[in-house]
Amino acid sequence: MADQRPIILWSHPRSLSTVFEQLFLQRPQEFHVIHEPINPISRAYVTKNFEFLNQIPLPKPTDPITF
């Protein structure tokens, strides 16, 4: 994997983005997929339950393409 620039897909709810994402999930040796990384933060804000955010594991420096 010579080129490690991120590919970011932003889309509205109920679009076919998950179908598009499956193409990348089928090639784990070439792509590292992060699915809905903002969702836990949004859920904590809506429910006013911020405690569970401490349970989300932080990315490691060895994780591929984590910015």
Structural domain contains residue 51: yes
Per-residue pLDDT tens for 21-61? 888 889 888 888 877 778 888 888 888 888 878 877 777 77
Domain of residue 49 covers 37-67
How confident is the model at residue 2, as a pLDDT? 63
CA angle 8, 10, 11 (to 5 degrees): 150
39 vs 67, residue with greater confidence:
39
> H-helix or E-strand containing 17?
helix 17-25
Structural domain contains residue 45: yes
Structural domain contains residue 15: no
Q: Which amino acid is at 26?
A: Q
Structural domain contains residue 14: no
- pTM for the whole thing? 0.53
Domain count, the chain: 1
Q: How confident is the model at residue 65 (pLDDT cuts 50, 70, 90)?
A: low
Structural domain contains residue 65: yes
